[in-house]
Amino acid sequence: MSATYLDGIMEFHRARAASDSRNWRERHVPPSQRPSLVEALRGHRAQGISVIAEIKRRSPSKGWLAEGLDALETARSYVQGGAVAVSVLTDEQHFSGSLDDLRAVSAGIDRPVLRKDFTVAPNDVLDAVEAGASAVLLIVAALSDSELSELLSVARDVGVDALVEVHDHDEAQRALEHGAVLVGINQRDLRTFDVDTERAEKVLHSLDSSVVAVAESGFSSVDAVIRAAHVGFDAVLVGETFVRSSDASAAVRSFSGHPIGART
């Protein structure tokens, strides 16, 4: 695969982790008491597809999406619209997020909160717990098997879920082999940035119904969400469409609750 935007971002985060002198094994971080993201999504299946609504100020490819966004105010509007969970981008360098955003949102709403960042080290997971996260993101394309295994183990030990992001069948199989129970399928091609729903749906069909499946990227219409629900996704993760909407609550509401079909 040719170089992608992910390569540069991961290089930045690996350098940051390498400069972190904290010994994660010596940190005493109490297990998370936040609501479980996995259980929230499973519990909502009977009511239709769930929405994980994202706090996203900026994109590396598109620039500013919502420069003046207030994280907590936005999260509360998402909850009013029926979001089952909220995702908070905490990458400052590339997305203009922060752990302060995560702390504010976690303290201000009673829904599960995902720390959306480029997790490369156990300290990243422990920082997420201390800031109030219910779950962390692990990107299979960016991690070795040993890293993925270690980070999943650390997440389990401190009581947070891991949304394990994949882009193709091989990555999905790696995720499952390491025990992932919450899998996000990114519909965006890392090389072209194009959204490919058919590829994502093929990957979904390789997942057992016991795996909670989240469709990520490219949702700008209700019809696209209905299609994702119909083929068997449990949830959609949406950021750009909501932060650019003049009525985020209404936008979330329009995406929520569409009947979930059987995976074939």
Structure tokens at 215: 């469709």
Where do the structural domains in the chain lie, given as residue ranges?
37-255
Element (H, E) at 16: helix 5-18
Instruction: Please identify which residue in the block is written with the tokens 């750009």.
Output: 240
Question: 3-state SS of the chain: helix, strand, coil percent to 5?
Answer: 45, 15, 40
When pLDDT is averaged across residues 114-123 and rounded to a whole number, the result is 96
pLDDT digits 0-9 by tens, 27-62: 999 999 999 999 999 999 999 999 999 999 988 777
What is the radius of gyration, based on Cα positions, of the chain? 17
Residues 6 or more apart whose Cβ sits within 8 Å of residue 24: 121, 122, 123, 126, 154
When pLDDT is averaged across residues 23-28 and rounded to a whole number, the result is 94
pLDDT digits 0-9 by tens, 54-103: 999 988 777 788 788 999 999 999 999 999 999 999 998 888 889 999 99
Query: β-strand 135-139 against 212-216: which pairing, if any?
Result: unpaired
pLDDT band at 6 (very low <50, low <70, confident <90, very high): confident
Q: What's residue 3's pLDDT?
A: 59
Taking domain 37-255, whether its CATH number is 3.20.20.70 is answered by: yes
Distance CA 219, CA 247 (A): 16
Distance CA 201, CA 218 (A): 14
Q: What's residue 93's pLDDT?
A: 80
